[in-house]
Amino acid sequence: MLRLGSSSEVRAKILDDFGVEFIQSSCDYDEEQIATKNPKSFVYSASMGKLQACKKEYGDDFPILVADTVVTAQGKLLRKAKDIDDAREILLTQSGMTTSILTCTIFQKKELQLIDISSTDYLFKEFDKEDLERYLESNEWQGKAGACMVEGFCKKYIQSVRGAQSCAMGLSIEKILPFLREKV
């Protein structure tokens, strides 16, 4: 059995889709305390913080899987939007640009710690302003790194992709699946 240290429905669905048995447990970690603007350093620090929070709250009786995702475009670290105006600004930063989605995934069991930082790059067409406003009004952007949903709103604007979709969705399953399927 595996403990998914995340409240993300998308991460849980990815595990379900790949037939991984798990229990889902939210692990509280305040990402606001992370000072770096470097995307790789940020996702690493956030994932390690989540791992430590899970171990403290639940122990390490089960292997633990945690992840964090950030978005970057035009040299800016694009975090979760605070409100609709912030979401609009974050999405306009990505419109017509290459956007990188970085995910740090950490899997830990007693004798192994696997850390993967992967990136998926999307070249987006310019977002239609009316479509963007409908998306903003839907509130689907809430809680999403970079207010971006490559499986939703942004999908129709993708011109090219380099990397794995699972990374962009918040869990680089292809990288860790062999380790998850080992007897634990």
**pTM confidence score:** 0.86
* Span 94-106, pLDDT tens digits: 999 999 999 999 9
Q: Is there a contact between 14 and 166 (Cβ–Cβ < 8 Å)?
A: yes
Per CATH, domain 2-180 is 3.90.950.10: yes
- Look over the chain and give the mean of its residue pLDDT values, rounded to a whole number: 92
* Span 41-62, pLDDT tens digits: 999 999 999 999 999 999 888 8
Q: What is the DSSP letter of 74?
A: T
- Domain spans of the chain, in order of start: 2-180
Task: State the catalytic residue, choosing from 16, 60, 61, 68.
Answer: 68
The dihedral of CA 139, 140, 143, 145: what is its sign?
Answer: negative
128 is catalytic: no
* Span 145-184, pLDDT tens digits: 899 888 889 999 999 999 998 998 899 999 999 888 765 4
